[in-house]
Chains A and B, each alone.
Chain A
Amino acid sequence: MKVTRREFLMLSGQAGAYLALSSCMGIDTKPVKEYVEDLKKIDKLKTAKQTTSLCYYCSVTCGLICSTDPKTGKIFNIEGDPDHPISEGALCAKGAAMLQTTELNEHRLTKVLYRAPYSDKWEPKPLDWAMMEIAKKVKALRDKDFILKNAKGQEVNRLESLAHMGSSKLDNEECWAITTMMRSLGLVQLDHQARV
């Protein structure tokens, strides 16, 4: 039975077709049957909602297919997208580990570590708290240092006391959103970890 990926996707609900095929051939494949029955992942793949995405680890930006379980609404598998013109389904070790960035990864950090000024201790704090603290500091600094006009009296609307450091984990769209937001705050120093 030769099936292309697209045809295969349409074969949903045919779980066990392989087993039926083996048993009608009169071959004793009992251990193999047990093995296949144990594996639910391939069956889940048949009914999964597929969403394309991109690997953000390097500038090649390989294509990904994220499979979401329609019952739980959670991603359970991520692999290369064979239809992607650049990567044609391939992924290196970093892209192949993309599933680790989902909540399936029990080792993923869910809290931030905060060290107060002059303190020598790290304290675990909720992410929401950290976001709010950063927002407060940005607001305070912008209110204090925002420059409306330069020495010549020209309108500049800039903030020189704050810089933004980007990351190679950002994809193109995230970079766009961040740049737009930072420019609207008046930031002129936007840089990237790869340059420092």
Chain B
Amino acid sequence: MSEGKSILVDTSRCTACRGCQVACKQWNQLPGTQTKNWGSYQNPADLSAQTWKLVRFAEGKKDNGKPYWYFFSDQCRHCIEPPCKATAGYEEAISQDAQTGAVIYSAKTSELNAKEIVDSCPYNIPRQDEKTKALFKCTMCLDRISNGQIPACVKSCPTGAMVFGDREEILEKAQKRVEQLKKTYPKAQAIDADTVRVIYIVTDDPSKYHQYAAS
């Protein structure tokens, strides 16, 4: 299925306010987690069964010696052909919503081999809950988008870095934005746009943003 819905995450517009990260917690009623200062604004340090959306902060030096500080609002990409779903081979646990294409994990993911599922994800997204052993990740706010609302993260975005819509429309927007950005940033690209529903636009090498930014 190549139609359905998509989300565009234009990192060139992201200011890392983390409104999306908090909106996700708020809507999905996910508890806060104990964190500590590990020298980065990226907090919590990683995704977890309680944190499905995380703004990653990456810093370093460009080839020309100038510093960069990139923001990457990480979440499930809702792949068109999800490797996690194929690996599980168990529709009751991992399925795809017919209308939107959202990849959905149920409580039955506790019956799966968690390591196998996590390793199958090119973007290193699913996380296991220690108590229930079930796997958790972003749901694309299936409850909201099935009821005429946009995902909580997209709604909160103050800079318009995140946009939700029909896949065709989002692909078109991504293409236009990349063309525009290429004038200033020759390395601008829409990461894996043909195979995922959550499309990230970056202005530099994806690996500079996050180890698993691209597949």
B181 within 8 Å of A (CB atoms): no
Cβ-defined contact, A18 with B139, below 8 A: no
A53 within 8 Å of B (CB atoms): no
Cβ-defined contact, A96 with B108, below 8 A: no
A41 within 8 Å of B (CB atoms): yes
Closest Cβ neighbor of A35 among chain B residues: B104
Cβ-defined contact, B18 with A1, below 8 A: no
A177 within 8 Å of B (CB atoms): no
Closest Cβ neighbor of A25 among chain B residues: B98
B113 within 8 Å of A (CB atoms): no
Instruction: Report how many A-B pairs have Cβ atoms within 8 Å.
Output: 109
B93 within 8 Å of A (CB atoms): yes
B101-119 contact mask (Cβ, 8 Å, vs A): 1 or 0? 0001011100000000000
B32-65 contact mask (Cβ, 8 Å, vs A): 1 or 0? 0000000000000000000000000000000000
A141 within 8 Å of B (CB atoms): no
B22 proximity list for chain A (CB < 8 A):
93-94, 96-97
Known A79-B23, A79-B27, A92-B19: A8·B147 in contact at CB below 8 Å: yes
Cβ-defined contact, A27 with B98, below 8 A: yes
B157 proximity list for chain A (CB < 8 A):
90
Considering only residues 1-50 of chain A, those with a C-beta below 8 Å from chain B are 1-5, 7-8, 11, 18, 21-22, 25, 27-32, 34-36, 39, 41-42, 45-46
The interface-forming segment of B125-133, B148-156, B204-212 is: B148-156
Cβ-defined contact, A2 with B148, below 8 A: yes
B17 within 8 Å of A (CB atoms): yes
B156 proximity list for chain A (CB < 8 A):
79-80, 89-92, 95-96
Considering only residues 55-105 of chain A, those with a C-beta below 8 Å from chain B are 62, 77-80, 82, 87, 89-97, 99
B143 proximity list for chain A (CB < 8 A):
35-36, 39, 41-42
Question: Please, how many angstroms separate the alpha-carbon atoms of A9 and B17 in the complex?
Answer: 29
Known A28-B91, A35-B139: A96·B147 in contact at CB below 8 Å: no
Report the count of interface residues on B (CB-CB < 8 A): 37
Question: Please, how many angstroms separate the alpha-carbon atoms of A36 and B93 in the complex?
Answer: 14
Partner of A93, one of B18, B91, B94, B95: B18
Cβ-defined contact, A92 with B148, below 8 A: no
A8 proximity list for chain B (CB < 8 A):
147-149
Known A2-B148, A31-B91, A39-B143: A79·B26 in contact at CB below 8 Å: yes
Report the count of interface residues on A (CB-CB < 8 A): 43
Cβ-defined contact, A29 with B148, below 8 A: no
Known A28-B91, A96-B26: A36·B149 in contact at CB below 8 Å: no
B21 proximity list for chain A (CB < 8 A):
93
Closest Cβ neighbor of B147 among chain A residues: A42
B98 proximity list for chain A (CB < 8 A):
22, 25, 27, 29, 32
Expressed in whole angstroms, the minimum distance between the Cβ of B138 and any Cβ of chain A is: 13
B142 within 8 Å of A (CB atoms): yes
Considering only residues 151-175 of chain B, those with a C-beta below 8 Å from chain A are 152, 155-159
B179 within 8 Å of A (CB atoms): no
Residues of A within 8 A of B (CB): 1-5, 7-8, 11, 18, 21-22, 25, 27-32, 34-36, 39, 41-42, 45-46, 62, 77-80, 82, 87, 89-97, 99
20 A/B residue pairs, CB under 8 Å, sorted by A: A18-B146, A30-B92, A30-B95, A31-B106, A32-B104, A32-B142, A34-B106, A35-B142, A41-B143, A46-B147, A78-B26, A79-B156, A89-B156, A90-B158, A92-B156, A93-B18, A96-B19, A96-B20, A97-B22, A99-B26
Residues of B within 8 A of A (CB): 17-23, 25-27, 29, 91-95, 97-99, 104, 106-108, 139, 142-144, 146-149, 152, 155-159
